[in-house]
Amino acid sequence: MKKYIKLINVTVLILASIIYLGTKSFVFTNSKEPADADSSFYTVSRVIDGDTIVLSDGRKVRLTGIDTPEVYYSEKLLKDSKKSGQDIKTIQGLGRRASAFTKELCLGKKVRLEYDVDRHDRYKRTLAYVYLEDGTFVNQKIVQEGFAQVMTVVPNVKYADLFLKSQKEAREANRGLWKT
Using a 10 angstrom Cβ sphere, with 0-12 exposed, 13-18 middle and 19 or more buried, the burial of residue 144 is buried
Given the residues 112, 114, 125, 145, select the one marked as catalytic. Answer: 125
Query: From the CB of residue 113, how many other CB atoms can be counted at a distance below 10 Å?
Result: 22
Q: What is the dihedral of CA 167, 23, 118, 126, to 10 degrees?
A: 70
Nearest to 113 by CA among 124, 99, 129: 129
Catalytic residue among 46, 62, 75, 114: 62
Q: Is 62 a catalytic residue?
A: yes
Classify strands 126-132 and 60-63 as parallel, antiparallel or unpaired: parallel
Active site residue 171: no
169 is an active site residue? no
Q: What is the CA radius of gyration of the chain?
A: 18
* 58, 107 Cβ separation under 8 angstroms: no
Q: Is 153 helix (H, G, I), strand (E, B) or coil?
A: strand
Burial 47-69 (b: 16+ CB within 10 A, else e): bbbbbbbbbeeeebbbbbbbbbb
Instruction: List active site positions.
Output: 62, 70, 125
